[in-house]
Every structure is written in C-alpha cells, then in structure tokens.
Chain A
Amino acid sequence: MLRALPVSPAVILLALFLAGPIGYCAYIAFTDLQLTGQAESSFVGLDNFREAFGDERFLNAVWLTLVFTFLSSIVGQNTLGLALATLMQRASKPVRTLTGAIVVTAWVLPEVVAGFLLYAFFRREGTLNAVLDFLHLPSQNWLFTLPILAVSFANVWRGTAFSMLVYSAALNEIPKEITEAAEVDGAGGWRRMWHITLPMIRRSIGTNLMLNTLQTLSVFGLIWVMTRGGPGNDSQTLPLFMYEQAFQKSMIGYGTAVALLLLLVGSLFSVVYMRLLRTEV
C-alpha cells in the first residue's frame, strides 16, 4: 500500500481535473443546462442528442469534420510525411537537414502563430495568390471560396512533421540487406515500396494514422484563427460547433452533448490505438 503512495498526486490530479470533467460531461449532456437566466437545469434524457441528429448545422459540422480529417490527416499529413521520410533516406545531408528543419519548425510553432501565418498565406492579398499571379494562374479568395480546403492545407502544413519523424524512425529500422536484396532481384522503387517497405512499417502506419486522426479531430485554434468557422458555417468542424452552441448560444447542455459525441469517437480511436500497441505494455 505504502509503495503506491507516490502515485497519489498524479491520481488525484487526474481524477479531479480529467476524469471529473469527463464524468461531468457525461452528466450535463443529458440536461438542458444554460449559461444564463436559468436557476436550475433539469434532466432531459436524450433530447440533446435527438436535437443534434435532427440539426442540419450539426450534420454539416460532422461532414466538415470528416472532410477535414480525411483530407488533412489521412491523405495530407500521412502521405506527405511518408513521402518526405522516404525521399530523405536518399537525399544529400544538407537538403535533408534543411527540409527537416523547415518542416519541424512549422510543427513546433504555437498553434495560433501557425494559424496567422496560414491566414496571411491564403488571404486574397496574400502570398498564395501572389505566386499564382506570377504563374499566370487564376487567383481567388481562398478563405472565402474554399475555406475547408484552406484549413485542411493549414493542418497539413502544421502536422506533417509528426508523420515525417515517425516514418523516418520506422524506415531507419528496416535492415539494409532486405532492400538491397530486392534491388538485386530487380525490383523497382515503387515495387520495393509496395511489397517491402510498406508491409514492414505497417504498425507504424497504423499508430501514426490513429494519432494523426485524434490530433486532427480536436483542432480548434488553427481553424478559429483562420476562419472562425466561416464564412457562414463552411469551415465549422465539430469543436467549433460545440464552442458556438455552448458559449455564443449559451446552450451548455447541447454543446456538451456534442462534446460527448466527439469524446466517444475519440475513445473509439484511442481503443484501436491501444490494440495496435498492446504488446508494448
């Protein structure tokens, strides 16, 4: 018993500030708690959830979250990260160091700063349009016409370093002999990638996809800074929808119901992630 004593500060903190809110979340999601003008909240059962699934704006947020997660995490960060890691294996040292440094800097930057940089990049009078003008390509107001694409790209910009580091580590662990043997047998680059590299790093791919997805699911600051979820609701993913319902519309109960759904999806991914890592514990 005494031996477990040192764990107690951590357990107390976790219980009070993490498990507590999660439990509280599960409770107020079933009430009609509001921010103002209400003395008591009452239990409303599944009303919040029923309302959510009948609410066009909620469904819109779900759809945008799916698009955002798919584009930026599964396609963007994951693929680009793998591509960069693969290219780096063969690149010269200066190129490798330089690219690595730039990509990692984008990752280490505070969320809000990254948001501003990409906001400046995508604005009508921003850099992207300047480049497009220079190439004689049509420019447009990206944050207005394709906001979800712009924030997805921003998330790729910010998050790719993580995948790159994971995959670089994984690729370094593949024994040289195996790739060399395949080369001798006449397998080209793509075939080696498909038949040897990918199967050998498939566990890294799994865990990386899981972590990317979980990260992306909870992105708030980046989108908030760039578009505030707008124009209209065109880039309003679930975290922003939750925030709007709970604070701008003062419906904490409803906002929390949305939060609980987000948490459930997150837990689901988390469980899959644990299964992928299960031999480690």
Chain B
Amino acid sequence: MLVVAAAFILPLAWVVLSSLDPKADLRVRLPDSLTLDNYDQVLTPEITFTPLLNSLLLCGGGTLLTVVCAALAAYPLSRYRSRLNRPFMLTILFATSLPITAIMVPVYALFVQVDLIDTMQGTIFFFAASQLPFAIWLMKNFMDGVPKELEEAAWTDGASSFQSLLRIVLPLMGPGVAVVTVFSFVMMWGNFFVPFMLLLTPEQMPASVSINDFFGNKGTVVYGQLAAFSILYSTPVILLYVLVSRKLGGGFALGGAVKG
C-alpha cells in the first residue's frame, strides 16, 4: 500500500516543490533554495485574482441556484405522496449519470441561438442544471431522514409549509445541506469543459480555463509559476472537502448515490 501511496504522491510532490523552487522544471526534486517568488509573480489581478473571482462568481452563483432549487424540489417529493414522485425520481436518477460532456456541442449551438453564449448568467444556469439531478437526489434522501412530527407541530401552530421548510426542516438537515452545497461547488470549481465552451472573452474566464494561458500563447512555460497557480487554484476545494469530511466522515458525497 505504501508503494501505491508513493506512486500517488509523486505528481503531488512535484507541484508543491516546484511552486517553491526558483528553477523549477518538470522533475520532482528538492529545490536548492526555497522562494516565494513564484507566488509573487502570479499574484496579480490579471493572472490570479480575476480568474479566481470569476470562478467564485460562476460556482457561487451556480451552487446557490442549485441548492435553492434542490431544496424546494425535494420538499414535496419527501413530504407528500403523489403518483408522480416515483417517475420523477427515476428520471432524476437517470439524469444524474448522463455524460454531460456529450451535450456540450448542442448546448453551445443552442446558446448561440438564444444569445446566452459568453454570458456569466448562461453559464451559471447551465452549471446549476447539470448539478441539479444529483443535488435533488441527495437532498431528498437527507430530507427523508427528518421526522415529520416536528413539522406537524409547527403546522398546528399555523406555520405554512414554506415556513416549516425554512425554519424546521432545513436547519435539522444542516449537514445534508452542507454536503450538497460543498459537493456542487467542488464539481463546478474543477469543471473545465463547460466554461471552456460557453465563455469566450478572456476577462470572464474562470481559473480552470485561464490556467491554459500558461501554455502556448505566452511562449515558454514557467513551471514554477504554473505550479504556484495550481496550488492557489486547488486550495479552496481541498479545504472545503477537508472541512466537510471532518464533520461527516469520509466519502460523504457518496451517501445517496451508491448504496448497494
């Protein structure tokens, strides 16, 4: 197992060491001297701040939309019986595992027609739609775990369904909401193909796409800076993951998806 761990760690070691190495190349090696120059070089509005801000806007917007829509949708599915529940959940389950990559070409063509191409809001909507099936699925499963009795008490006191969802159900399933939120955010943050296709102007590019600029256009690649940027870009999602899995145990995201 340690051999596997070693094989897994080498590429990771490269990025950490290179980011601190003034003469970084493609090989893992201990730098002769440590420096933060690489970070200094990339910490400019153009290279780091704007793309990360764009990422934050896209993924934050997308996540917010996903979580709100999923919570609203999960509520009646979890609380009321209806003939439509089962077909709806089956459709959702089916959609969770469709290869989204395959529909990017028609999405592009469609976005050109309705003038949503190269807009933040268009990309946010698509992000939200692509995460929704899984988010609804997870959310509903978590919601099923909240006992109905507490809500009934609130109803007797004259609360509406919406109030009881907001004040009772969602707070009680706090960890579940956190899982859905973090999972959606992490998925969007790392996604390359969607913004790569749907956004065109460089000023709007999120970090997943702008990282490409280190290659190609700008001549020779400065590997140290590329590594430093990779670390800056990856840190938020790793932190989020650690935070949530600390609280809920590893593999949290798989809860509803792969019970077998």
Contacts and interface: CB of A to CB of B under 8 A. Distances in A.
Interface of A: 3-7, 9-11, 13-14, 16-18, 20-22, 24-25, 28, 33, 80, 83-84, 87-88, 91, 95, 98-100, 102-106, 108-113, 116-118, 120-121, 123, 125-127, 130-131, 157, 162, 165-166, 168-170, 201, 203-208, 210-211, 214, 217-221, 224-225, 239, 242-243, 246-247, 252, 255-256, 259-260, 262-263, 266-267, 269-271, 273-274, 276-277, 280-281
Given A28-B106, A95-B2, A211-B97, A16 B211 contact: no
Interface stretch (B21-29, B31-39, B170-178): B21-29
B105 A99 contact: no
B105 A127 contact: no
A116 B211 contact: yes
Interface in B72-117: 72-73, 75-77, 80, 82, 84, 86, 88-90, 93-95, 97-110
User: For chain B, what secondary structure do more than half of its interface residues adopt (helix, strand, loop), or is it mixed?
Assistant: helix
A211 B258 contact: yes
Interface in B226-253: 226, 230, 233-234, 237-238, 241, 250-251
Given A109-B190, A112-B212, A221-B193, A266 B98 contact: yes
Contacts of A252: 105, 109
A4 B237 CA distance: 35
Contacts of A88: 1
Given A17-B126, A211-B258, A157 B11 contact: yes
B259 A168 contact: no
A267 to B, nearest CB: 7
Nearest to B196: A221
Interface stretch (B40-48, B127-135, B146-154): B127-135
Contacts of A166: 251, 254, 258
Contact of B100 (A5, A7, A218): A218
Given A14-B129, A262-B99, A280-B259, A243 B192 contact: no
Nearest to B4: A84
B92 to A, nearest CB: 9
Contact of B14 (A117, A165, A263): A117
B94 A104 contact: no
Given A118-B11, A204-B260, A262-B99, A21 B233 contact: no
A281 B114 CA distance: 37
A16 B129 contact: yes
B30 to A, nearest CB: 13
Nearest to A260: B102
Contacts of B133: 14, 18
A218 B101 contact: yes
Given A14-B133, A169-B251, A130 B69 contact: no
B208 interface: yes
Contact of A277 (B14, B93, B103): B93
A266 B192 contact: no
Contacts of B10: 121, 127, 131
B56 to A, nearest CB: 14
Contact of B110 (A24, A83, A131): A24
Contacts of B86: 281
Contacts of B12: 102, 105-106, 117
Given A102-B9, A266-B98, A16 B26 contact: no
A24 B28 contact: no
A10 B69 contact: yes
Contact of A3 (B80, B223, B241, B260): B80
A207 B257 CA distance: 9
A6 B89 contact: no
A246 B132 contact: no
A242 B105 contact: yes
B20 interface: no
A239 B101 contact: yes
A154 B25 CA distance: 20
Contacts of A170: 260
Nearest to B88: A7
A184 B35 CA distance: 58
27 contacts: A14-B133, A16-B125, A18-B133, A20-B110, A91-B1, A99-B8, A102-B5, A106-B11, A109-B190, A112-B212, A116-B230, A125-B25, A127-B14, A130-B27, A157-B8, A166-B251, A201-B260, A210-B97, A221-B208, A224-B192, A239-B102, A242-B105, A256-B109, A266-B97, A267-B94, A270-B97, A271-B94
Contact of A221 (B9, B82, B192, B226): B192
